[in-house]
Structure formats: C-alpha cells, structure tokens
Amino acid sequence: MSDTSAVAEAEQLVAEAAGSDGTPAEGPKFTLELNQDQKDIREWVHGFAEGVVRPAAEEWDEREETPWPVIQEAAKIGLYGFEALGQFWADETGLTLPIANEELFWGDAGIGMAIMGTSLAVAAIFGQGTPEQMGEWIPQCFGAADDPKVAAFCSSEPDAGSDVSAIRTTAKYDEATDEWVINGQKAWATNGGIADVHVVIASVDRELRSRGHAAFVIPPGTKGCEQGAKVKKHGLRASHTADVHLDDCRVPGSCLLGGKEKLDERLARVREGKKAKSQAAMQTFEASRPTVGAQALGIARAAYEYALEYAKERQQFGRPIIDNQSIAFTLADMKLEIDAARLLVWRAAWMGRTGQKFENAEGSMSKLKAGEVAVWSTERAIQILGGNGYTREFPVERMHRDAKIYTIFEGTSEIQRLVISRAISGMQIR
C-alpha cells in the first residue's frame, strides 16, 4: 500500500468514527486517568497515612496492640466508618476502594489492617445479609466516631485453613426458641474476641461440606463467644489476631445472614443434587481479593520509595550506590512489578464493581501478583539498604514482615494458582 492510500484509508476510518453527520463520536471509553473524586480521596487518605499512620507505625508494631487512638483519629475524620466505606464503594468504576487501601497501607500495614480488618465482616454482611440485616449490623461493626468498635470475620479453624470445606463449627437451629446454637473454635481471626460484632461461618449440615455452610452474626456481648489465645505474629503486629471459642453460643434466628427461608431453599437444591448458588465463605473472599491486593501494593510501594531515596543518598566507593546498575535495575524492576500488579488490581476491582464475569479468576490473579510483588520488593529493599535494612532502625524490615502475610491469608499463593488454573482449564486441578 502506498503512503497516500494509507493516509486516505486512515481519513476514511476517522470520518466513519465521527459519524455520518460529521459530529465527533463519543470520546474513547478506555481511560486510566483518575477522575477528580478519585484523586481527592487518594490525596485525603495519603495525608492521613503520612501524617498520622506512619509516625505511629513503629510504636504499635513493637507494642503488638490494637492502635485504638489511631482508629479513633480515622473515625473522627470520617475515614473509619460506614460512610467512608459507602463513599469508596459508591465509585462506579470500583477503583476508589483499592486506591484508598493502597494509600493507607503505604502508611503502615499493621495499622492499616487494624483500620480495615472490620471490612471483611462488613463485606460478609453486605454480600449475604438482607437489607434489614445490613441496616442493623453494619453500623454496629464500626461503632460511633467518638467510640469506634471493630468487627471480625471468622472462617478459619485449626484444621480448616485453605480447606474451608473442613470447617467443624456447627450451627443447630432450636425451633422452640427460634435461636441458632453455635459450637466450635475459630483460628487466626483478625479482631477476634475484641470485636463487637463477629461474623462466623458455621456448618448447618456437615455432610454437605462447604455447601452446607452459613454465615451468622454474633451480636456484641453474646454469652458463649470468647476470645481464645492471642496470636504473636511475624508481622502486621498492630492488628489483633486471636482464636475465638464458641461454646453453646445462642443467637436469635434473625442473625442468620440472608434468613432461614433462603438457607432452606439453598440446602434443598443441594440435596437434590442441583448446583448451589453460593458458598458462604468463598463469596466473601472472592469479592475482597483486589482490595487485599491493593493493601499489598501499598506496602510494596512504600518499600520501593524508601529504597529509591536511600540508594540516591548512600555513598560507597565515592558515589551513590544507585550509580551501580545492579541497584538501579533492581529499583527499575521494583517499579515495573508494582505498576504491573496495580493494573491487575484495578482491572479486577473494575470487573467486580461493574459485574463482569471473572472468567479467568482475575480477582485471584490480582491478589496473587500483588502479594508476591510485595514480598519480593520488600526483600529487595532490605538488600538495597544493606545492614541498615536488616535493623529495626529502618522501616523496610517491618514492611517485609508485614508483606509476607499477603501470600498466606485470603487464600495462599498456591490456592490462588489453583483457582486460576481451574478457571483457565475448566478442570479440577488438584
């Protein structure tokens, strides 16, 4: 094709795109440019992360306690609470939630989790509750601005981590009193025992394995719901993690998320051999994966930025260490991997919010990539800082400890690969 005919063809295409009457066609739909609301929220959360969270990070990591004063600060400015989550969720593109999480966790992941841990229970109530249950329980998960509370989502058990179907906690319906009686032990629950509202996954029919699971709200102060051992952790130490014991714990019938009628219908379908529409715990995990990935991204970015500045300042052999390609290329790769992970996170968040089908487990992809990038980048940051990186005088060792959980909770990296490989192959890969 000659140059002139190529130009003519291009002109023809432009004319067609503009429409027959010559008016310009609608602008391009695909954009990665954030809108003003998204930019404003990013700046707002970043300001809190920089001014309040970061300066407190070391102290609360050492204390290994829930940073209530910081949660209170977040509640006061409207960053912790039902309204904030509603505001993030209202963004129809789905991007505001990951953007806010990335910024907060850039400040510090332990404190970030102390603030965001409640949202896992909220997501379960939001995803599975009736409108009345949402109205009743979601505000109670957060408490009031001057007296904030936290909530816990309890699925894992000592013998049921990756294998959710092995859950042994049972819920039996007592028809005489219209109550559910819950018995079992939950493990590694974020905010377990210190939460006002606990959401517990229990089996109502063990034979049906995960298809016999249901989610229950345990209201504040319910007898028989007690904190077990508090877990001492490698990282994320400002976030409380503990076992939860459920001992003849009685909750009103109305605490079954979604209601009994819906549960009975679902169980009947499963017993008839029809496909169950949902599995209680898996639904919650699937919806929250890109948000969890965004938290990992925040840690990775914090470590990368710290290492970049350090590498420009630190002099060895009479020149900044970034003058060495091995250091500069590592930083280039860190930036590249973080940006690539963010694109996966944003894609999955957008797909989830706009109701696209996750044909290839894109939610799992985003969490897998971001978690592994966070572990790798924080480890590289320690290497770039050398001896200083290994000490508690510098923040990158804490970031590395915090990052590691992102290849474990909300589905380990192996489980994410399992989900992805099953999605792409249509086969029951084991």
Ligand X SMILES: Cc1cc2nc3c(=O)[nH]c(=O)nc-3n(C[C@H](O)[C@H](O)[C@H](O)COP(=O)(O)OP(=O)(O)OC[C@H]3O[C@@H](n4cnc5c(N)ncnc54)[C@H](O)[C@@H]3O)c2cc1C
Contact footprint for ligand X (CB under 6 A)? 120, 153-156, 161-162, 188-190, 233, 236, 241, 405, 408-409, 412, 414-415, 418
114 vs 385, beta carbon nearer ligand X = 114
Does residue 331 contact residue 322 with C-beta atoms inside 8 Å?
yes
- Residue 265 has a CB neighbour count (10 Å cut-off) of 13
Nearest CB to ligand X, comparing residues 95 and 419: 419
How many other β-carbons are positioned within 10 Å of the β-carbon of residue 392? 10
Query: Least Å distance between CB 297 and ligand X?
Result: 18
Using the minimum distance from each CB to ligand X, give the nearer residue, 189 or 270. 189
| Side chain identity at residue 143, one-letter code | G
As a residue count, the chain comes to 430
Whole-number minimum distance, CB 243 to ligand X, in Å? 11
Residue with tokens 């102290």: 59
C-beta closer to ligand X: residue 241 or 377: 241
The pair of structure tokens assigned to 295 is 């938290």
Please report, as a single letter, which amino acid is at residue 110. G
* Contact yes or no for 149/142 (Cβ under 8 A): yes
Long-range contacts of 308-311 (CB under 8 A, 24+ apart): 310/384, 310/385, 310/388, 311/384
- Contact between 67 and 111 under an 8 Å Cβ cutoff? The reply is yes
**Catalytic position from the list 157, 286, 337, 410:** 410
- Give the CB-nearest residue to ligand X: 161
Least distance from C-beta 190 to ligand X, angstroms? 3
CB of 12 to ligand X, least distance (A): 54
- The question of whether 410 is a catalytic residue gets the answer yes
* Cα 302 to Cα 46: distance, rounded to the nearest angstrom: 12
Nearest-approach distance from CB 302 to ligand X, in angstroms: 19
The first and second tokens of residue 204, run together, are: 């109502």
Residues 281, 201 contacting (CB under 8 angstroms)? yes
Q: Pick the closer one to ligand X by CB: 98 or 192.
A: 192
Report the distance separating Cα 222 and Cα 342, nearest Å: 41
Cβ 54 to ligand X shortest distance, Å: 21
| Smallest distance from ligand X to CB 213, Å | 12
Nearer to ligand X, 160 or 321 (CB): 160
| Residue linked to tokens 């169980």 | 267
Round to whole Å and give the CA distance between 128 and 123.
8
**Cα three-residue angle 71-77-78, rounded to 5 degrees:** 85
Which distant-in-sequence residues (6+ apart) come within 8 Å of 301 by Cβ? Answer: 102, 106, 338
In this complex, which beta carbon is closest to ligand X, that of residue 96 or of residue 416? 416
**What is the smallest separation between the CB atom of 73 and ligand X, expressed in angstroms?**
23
- What is the CA 75 to chain-centroid distance, rounded? 19
Residue with token string 């894992």: 156
Contacts of 349 (CB under 8 A, 6+ apart): 94, 95, 97, 98, 290, 291, 294, 366
- Between 145 and 166, CB nearer to ligand X: 166
Query: From CA 273, how far away is CA 262, in angstroms rounded?
Result: 17
Specify the residue, 87 or 413, whose C-beta has the smaller distance to ligand X.
413
CA distance 386 to 408: 27
Tell me if 302 sits within 8 A of 237, measured CB to CB.
Answer: no
CA 1 vs CA 4, 7, 11, 122: distances in Å: 8, 10, 15, 60
Enumerate the active-site residues. 410
